[in-house]
Structure 1
């Protein structure tokens, strides 16, 4: 299945999600590897699920308390191609980074050219930004997001619906989308209704 924009799916914790998202054309799977975060999985789970999929990027998500040395160790152990962070690390990492930026930082115009230049220095392997959209967006947010997407690789997550996603892409032109995985109802059984609708809205015509 070919999609009109790169898609990552976060919160992967079961084989149903891993195989379904890879089959629907997702470019990457995000595993929460920081045990201090909700829904964290262990190294064995990442390796097991990764063994069932091919052609997708493996990404680890980490919080503010995980030392850089431990993140780099898990990158090697799990074969991660990228990491998603919720806070600036104390030192550079060995792979590209997706750094989460709160919406208020965008509205306050905190991501100046100087700040982006600092990120480029801190993340020599490359970086992108993610921000979480709310169901009701401030009127001035979309132009701000569009401006930022011209200056940095901006990935959108949060309130992304099948009905609005195409318009959102046209107005913001982000680098990609980050969708949310979910839990199995029971082993091997998962309701993909909501996720499927978004994937179908993103399918190339």
Structure 2
């Protein structure tokens, strides 16, 4: 069970404040992360609710965590689930957004009536060449796109292409943040939470560093 009052942060305590840009935090799995991020005025907290994942957050844990935070939206994150599994999970978890990775599912999930966050991974030149067309396709079907890449040789090219994008999507930068914390042409950031050191104790690492950097003066 989660601690119902307070939690300890090994780096410093926090107070409610505003951020200069839109922020989504993925992979929330504990109350410490949820309360810290809500206190820092993050916009969206993402939870792995994929029934095919070994790291799925249970319905009970989701309820306990979300009952203790306010002022944020919740995203249900899916990795390998099919349409029926997504549909059933959305009935059980009261999420505001559905996050998916598969282009093949976009139109079907769109019909479920929940705003979609799409996680677009760019790991090679082939995927980079499709960035513009993929964003054009997603433009009328999803609300946000998290652009991510672990290939540091592509980041400058990705940044350049994003600079020419003029559609309706809210694009969230999900790569290269730890290195330079440069927003580039993105209106938002996507960060990933980590496990607690032990219940109630957490070193927020990169999340704290980035959120402090984009606090309102």
TM-score strictly above 0.5: yes
Alignment partner of 1:80 is 2:101: no
Query: Post-superposition shift, 1:134?
Result: 3.4
Listed as ranges, the matches of 1:1-205 within 5 Å are: 1-37=17-53, 39-64=55-80, 66-88=81-103, 89=105, 91=108, 92=110, 93-103=112-122, 104=124, 107-112=128-133, 115-116=134-135, 118-120=137-139, 123=141, 126-134=142-150, 136-138=152-154, 139-148=156-165, 150-151=166-167, 152-161=169-178, 164-165=180-181, 168-169=182-183, 171-172=184-185, 174-205=186-217
Residues paired across the two proteins, number: 193
Normalising by structure 2, report the TM-score: 0.79
Displacement of 1:157 in angstroms is: 1.1
Contact 2:19–2:215 (CA<8 Å) still a contact in 1? yes
Contact 1:99–1:128 (8 Å) recurs in 2:
yes
What TM-score, normalized by structure 1, do the two folds share? 0.83
Q: Identify if the C-alpha distance between structure 1 residues 188 and 99 changes in structure 2 by more than 3 Å, giving closer, same or farther.
A: same
**2:51–2:85 contact (8 Å) kept in structure 1:** no
Which ranges of structure 1 fall in alignment gaps of 5 or more residues? none
Select between 131-140 and 9-18 the one with higher mean Cα deviation. 131-140
Q: In the superposition, relative to structure 1, how do residues 12 and 134 fare at CA in structure 2: closer, same or farther (>3 Å)?
A: same
Runs of 4 or more consecutive aligned structure 1 residues displaced over 4 Å after TM superposition: 115-118
Residue 98 of structure 1 aligns to a residue whose secondary structure is strand
Q: Is 1:72–1:94's contact at 8 Å kept on the other side of the alignment? A: no
Contact 2:46 / 2:74 at 8 angstroms: preserved in 1? Answer: yes
Q: Find the aligned partners of 2:44 and 2:19 in 1 and give their Cα distance.
A: 13
Question: How much is the aligned-residue C-alpha RMSD, in angstroms?
Answer: 2.2
Q: Deviations over 1:33-59 (max 9, x none)?
A: 113235321111111100000010010
| Closer/same/farther in 2, CA of residues 146 and 39 from structure 1, 3 Å limit | farther
Q: Provide closer, same or farther for how the CA distance between residues 183 and 37 of structure 1 changes in structure 2, counting only shifts above 3 A.
A: same
Contact kept in structure 2, 1:29 and 1:59, CA below 8 Å: yes
CA contact (8 A) 1:133 1:156 kept: no
How far apart in 2 are the matches of 1:76 and 1:146? 38
